[in-house]
Amino acid sequence: MCSGDIGPDNKAFYADPEGPSGFDHVICESTYGNRDREEVSIAERRTLLEAEVLAARARGGNLVIPIFALERTQELLLDLGRLIDEGRIPGTHVFVDSPLANRITGVFERYATELEDTGRSNIFDNPSFHFVSDVAESMRLNSVTGAVIMAASGMCEAGRIRHHLLHNLHRSRSTILFVGFQAQGSLGRVILEGAKAVRISGNDVRVRAQIRQIDSYSAHADQGELADWIAARMPIAGSLFLDHGEPDAAEGLRRLLQARLPELEVRLPVIGERYALPAGGKARRETTGRQDLPLATGRDWQNAYADFATSLKTRLAQMANDGQRERALQQLREVMDAHDARK
């Protein structure tokens, strides 16, 4: 059995899923395997979103939200629409700048009256919502201010969100709001972790915007919810494989499961490994994994370079005199020369 993404409690639109138990082998995601989130209801989540919209408006700039086209977009529209209709964020205009998200929203709209939490109405048909597909219309959003701009991709690795970050990150009045998981090495993770400058489409961009996060929109369960889901699948006669999680997250969940379910064999596979999965028996590893992956993952060096290069001139200017500045530059040259000599 493969879990797919296990959503947290209090998800909109659908009834909570149910699943069978008693498997030979189970594959389970571990995205948030090492952390627990505060339990937040849909009403409480809307209050958090309301605060971010009003704070962004008070700063006088746009609220830019990197989105995932499926489900995250529609949940945000559900909450924004309700807040607009209740007069809690009056006069707010929401631009959804993602052709894929707009097509998926069209499917949700077709069945809106049959979904949970919609009040059996088409909540996507709101005059404050503007669905942008045309490239020229997307570029015209550069002149918009005080709006909510939602654009894919959710981790800022591709798509139109990079265009909007290029035009909003350097503005102190803008706000960037993350509402989903940001993988290690992604542009979104670099921004969320406090980079002072990033590199986008060949441009070094200073980060002056407010960086905010609401993690209760995530499509992934937290540690406790993951452990509960796995316990509900017991007994597992063979092995449990934890995937779709960074090493610390998968290891954190493995340790918790060993304490709660000591009889369960837990595996943390890596790319390239191959397993035999006998019925009723433990998994057997037949091929070892790749050893070069740690070198290919982690932070993006180009963003680290952009952060360093952008701050270099300021840091040199803060030195006491030209002599100190020249010595610092000479030391940098010596480091690079020594690296070249080792080639």
- What is the tens place of the pLDDT at every residue in 76-100? 999 999 999 999 999 999 999 999 9
Q: Can you list the positions of beta strands (E) in 84-169?
A: 94-97, 129-132, 148-151
pLDDT at 285: 95
pLDDT at 253: 98
Whole-angstrom distance, CA of residue 192 vs CA of residue 256: 27
pLDDT at 107: 97
Q: What would the mean pLDDT of 44-50 be, rounded to a whole number?
A: 97
Higher pLDDT, 317 or 238: 238
- In single-letter form, the type of residue at position 115 comes to L
What pairs with residue 197 in β-bridges?
A: 206
Residue 299 pLDDT greater than 60, yes or no:
no
Residues 6+ apart with CB under 8 A from 195: 207, 303, 306, 307
Note the Cα 126 to chain centre separation in Å.
Answer: 26
Of 131, 79, 74, nearest in space to 108 by CA: 74
Q: Which domains does the chain have, with CATH numbers?
A: 26-36+219-295 (no CATH), 42-217 (3.40.50.10890), 301-341 (no CATH)
Residue 14 pLDDT greater than 90, yes or no:
no
Q: What would the mean pLDDT of 3-15 be, rounded to a whole number?
A: 87
Of 68, 30, 34, nearest in space to 218 by CA: 68
Query: In the chain, how many H helices and how many E strands?
Result: 11, 13
Instruction: Quote the percentage of the chain above a pLDDT of 90.
Output: 77
**Alpha-carbon torsion angle 329, 332, 334, 337, nearest 10:** -120
pLDDT at 300: 59
Contact 97, 140 (CB under 8 A): no
Tokens of residue 114, six digits = 């049959």
Q: What is the pLDDT of residues 94-122, one digit of tens each?
A: 999 999 999 999 999 999 999 999 999 99
Q: What is the pTM of this model?
A: 0.85
Q: How far is CA 96 from CA 52, 58, 65, 107, 131, in A?
A: 17, 22, 10, 15, 5
Residue 18 pLDDT greater than 70, yes or no:
yes
pLDDT at 10: 78
pLDDT band at 294 (very low <50, low <70, confident <90, very high): low
User: Do the strands 94-97 and 239-243 form a parallel or antiparallel pair, or are they unpaired?
Assistant: unpaired
pLDDT at 169: 97
Whole-angstrom distance, CA of residue 135 vs CA of residue 132: 8
Higher pLDDT, 289 or 325: 325
Higher pLDDT, 283 or 340: 283
User: Do the strands 197-200 and 203-206 form a parallel or antiparallel pair, or are they unpaired?
Assistant: antiparallel
The secondary structure of residue 217, as a DSSP letter, is G
Residue 309 pLDDT greater than 80, yes or no:
no
Higher pLDDT, 315 or 30: 30
Q: What is the pLDDT of residues 156-182, one digit of tens each?
A: 999 999 999 999 999 999 999 999 999
If you average pLDDT over every residue of the chain, what do you get?
92
pLDDT band at 200 (very low <50, low <70, confident <90, very high): very high
pLDDT at 292: 66
